[in-house]
Structure 1
Amino acid sequence: MQSAAKQNYRIQLWISILSLLLFGAKIVAYHYTNSMAILTDALESIVNVIAGFIGLYSLYVAAKPRDTDHPYGHGKAEFLSAAAEGALITAAGIMIVYETVLNILEPNPVQRLDTGLWVVGITAVVNYVAGSMCLRIGRKNNSAALMASGKHLQIDTYSTIGIILGLVVVLVTGLYWLDKVIALLMSIFIIYNGYRIIRSSIAGIMDEADTELLKKFIRVLNNHRHPNWIDLHNLRVIKYGSLLHVDCHLTVPWYLNVHEAHREIDALVELTRQQFGDAIEFFVHTDGCLPFSCSICIKDDCPVRQHLFTERLEWTLTNVISNEKHRSGTMEQ
């Protein structure tokens, strides 16, 4: 198991244990208060517990090395975990609506809200800190499962804060029916965020392009371009859990020998690993430059230049994902 994968697994293990403890605290708070809004928070915490252990298993699977059946590794398991977590969040929101409607039909009196508020307030702080840590490490290690857990914990925090503010209003005004309204509003918020997590995980499963990641990748290459990197096209970046898989075509001077061309690829790989970490693999196809490449070639000391340099072509999201070689003002296959 790689160091990043070990760190992801260890963090997710602590998150799973923490979710179990916080769920217990919220159930105690509901027992004291009989508040539907607090029950809403507790029901969402059930999802935290289940999703935490699903995420833990997915990180274990994703950390397995590639094999003959999975030549690109097992990283897609993280997206499946995130999809399951999003589905559970949505289901929790629907369950909250159901429980709230039942409580409206058969009302139970709210009591001891002050005690309950202190308990859920503490859980909100703990959740936010844990969620921030998950998001920070998840972004660093490109872990979809860890980022889904972090988002879920912060969603839980925001819903808890909303519940606390609403219940403070209930305490001040004595309008106890607002407890049900708060529960319904928070359930809509929970369902919406569950949908967003599902949407994001399906995008990963379907290899949908990560536009922001591609833009950052292109910006790094533009800012550190080597003279022998004449052109770049057919760029694709695919996520396999914490692993980034990069395909591209790199145009280099036609007279470079195999070893010299490979050194240019090594330099490109080293540059990107400095920016994006070691969990990245490259499949780079090298093309020899053609006469029309001279107009965009920034190499000053080219011994075989046939045409004048006219403009430096800035690589952009539009022109590097195209499977076409570039020249000044136009493109050619």
Structure 2
Amino acid sequence: MQQKRTIVLIALAVSVVLMLAKFGAYFITTSNFILTDAAESVVNVLASAFAFFSIYLSSQPRDINHPYGHGKVEFFSVFIEGTLITIAGVTILFKSAYNLFYPHEVHNVVKGAIIIGITGAINGGLGFYMIARGKSLNSITIEADGRHLLTDMVTSGGLVVGLSLMYFLPYLWLDSVLSMGVAIYIVITGYKLIRRSVGGLMDEADFDTVEHIVKIMSDNRKDAWIDVHNLRAQNYGHEVHIDCHLTLPNYFDLIQVHEEVKSVEDLVNRDAGQHVEFFIHTDPCLPKCCHYCNMPNCPIRAEAKRIEIPWNMENTTRNAKHFELDGAV
């Protein structure tokens, strides 16, 4: 958790310095085009500050009011960031539209382009670093902040190209037209972040996570694990909570059942690359399970095994034992 805080603090400090540089470029040039980048840098600072708070809160231990921990605050952090980006983009869009009809002269275009180019390069390097670290630390907040910085790099690159055009084609309306294009791009980026955060807050299915967990269990499947079904995953910050039904031989005693459940938890936590908390409901096998059961020397087998049913998204996420899946038999 200390690594996450350090990364966000670095991003916050860099964002403040770059924000001041961009506003300096705006006051030098009076360009609305540069103002789009300067306004987004304000969002960078606010987003990094809230990201630091959300990471601090998500690291707090579970309590009676938050039995699953505080990890979902990271989705809220991303929502705030996306909202701020969208507001900045819409504001700039209206201002640029106004200046399209009431243009003003732009000054010192070359100086402004140099400042913006340097800030864009710094944001790009930091953004790639934060995305990589966000994935390795399983932090949606750090990853989202990194993607925001990459967006800033792209817009800065567009600004340098646009400012170069303005230098060689000194049309007053060009500044407003280019800034409107960048503003639209900013709004789209903000929408994507909002959409992702809402999906997390609404417990939208994370198919990549589920598929990864299913593959781990399938590749290491034990004979006693007759089938897995009704598997669902929820993300709570850096943790994943999974509940599922595991069918075991009905002659297992409670100690054997407990050992099999624990072996599933240990296996997934060893290979998943992140902390996974399981809630496993165990089902006893039925005679209808025999035709796909791998259990050797079974004392209650009703018929020989005759088919192999692979574990995949289709038959592990549905709320039915494998023999109830018409397409699986």
> Residues 26 and 42 of structure 1 are in contact (CA less than 8 Å); yes or no, is this contact kept in structure 2?
yes
> Residues 310 and 328 of structure 1 are in contact (CA less than 8 Å); yes or no, is this contact kept in structure 2?
no
Q: Find the counterpart in structure 2 of residue 82 from structure 1.
A: 78
Q: 2:167 aligns with which of 159, 168, 171?
A: 171
Q: How many residues align?
A: 328
Q: 1:318 aligns with which of 292, 314, 321?
A: 314
CA shift in 2, pair 1:124/1:239, >3 Å: same
Paired letter, 2:215: R
TM-score (norm 2): 0.94
Q: 2:270 aligns with which of 267, 274, 278?
A: 274
Q: Find the counterpart in structure 2 of residue 92 from structure 1.
A: 88
Q: Find the counterpart in structure 2 of residue 288 from structure 1.
A: 284
Q: Distance in 1 between matches of 2:169 and 2:297?
A: 80
Quick one: percent identity of the two aligned structures?
A: 38
Shift of 1:247: 0.5
Q: Which runs of 5+ in 2 are unaligned?
A: none
Does residue 40 (structure 1) correspond to residue 6 (structure 2)? The answer is: no
Q: Find the counterpart in structure 2 of residue 24 from structure 1.
A: 20
Q: Distance in 1 between matches of 2:164 and 2:327?
A: 64
Q: 1:194 aligns with which of 180, 187, 190?
A: 190
Does residue 183 (structure 1) correspond to residue 187 (structure 2)? The answer is: no
CA shift in 2, pair 1:209/1:272, >3 Å: same
Q: Find the counterpart in structure 2 of residue 204 from structure 1.
A: 200
> Residues 9 and 59 of structure 1 are in contact (CA less than 8 Å); yes or no, is this contact kept in structure 2?
yes
Aligned to 1:21, the other structure's residue is in SS state helix
Q: Find the counterpart in structure 1 of residue 238 from structure 2.
A: 242
Paired letter, 2:128: S
Shift of 1:328: 7.9
Does residue 148 (structure 1) correspond to residue 144 (structure 2)? The answer is: yes
> Residues 103 and 172 of structure 2 are in contact (CA less than 8 Å); yes or no, is this contact kept in structure 1?
no
Paired letter, 1:38: I
Shift of 1:316: 2.2
Shift of 1:91: 0.2
> Residues 238 and 274 of structure 2 are in contact (CA less than 8 Å); yes or no, is this contact kept in structure 1?
no
TM-score (norm 1): 0.93
Greater CA drift, 277-286 or 244-253: 277-286
> Residues 240 and 277 of structure 2 are in contact (CA less than 8 Å); yes or no, is this contact kept in structure 1?
yes
Q: Find the counterpart in structure 1 of residue 221 from structure 2.
A: 225
Q: 2:249 aligns with which of 238, 249, 253?
A: 253
Shift of 1:329: 6.0
Q: Find the counterpart in structure 1 of residue 45 from structure 2.
A: 49
> Residues 295 and 328 of structure 1 are in contact (CA less than 8 Å); yes or no, is this contact kept in structure 2?
no
Q: 2:113 aligns with which of 117, 124, 143?
A: 117
Please list the CA deviations of residues 255-288 of structure 1 after superposition, one character each: whole Å capped at 9, or x if unmatched.
2222222222222212211232342211111122
Aligned to 1:239, the other structure's residue is in SS state strand
Shift of 1:301: 4.0
Q: Distance in 2 between matches of 1:61 and 1:191?
A: 28
Q: Find the counterpart in structure 1 of residue 104 from structure 2.
A: 108
Please list the CA deviations of residues 159-210 of structure 1 after superposition, one character each: whole Å capped at 9, or x if unmatched.
1112222222222333443221110001011111111111111111111111
CA RMSD of aligned residues (A): 1.9
Shift of 1:219: 2.0
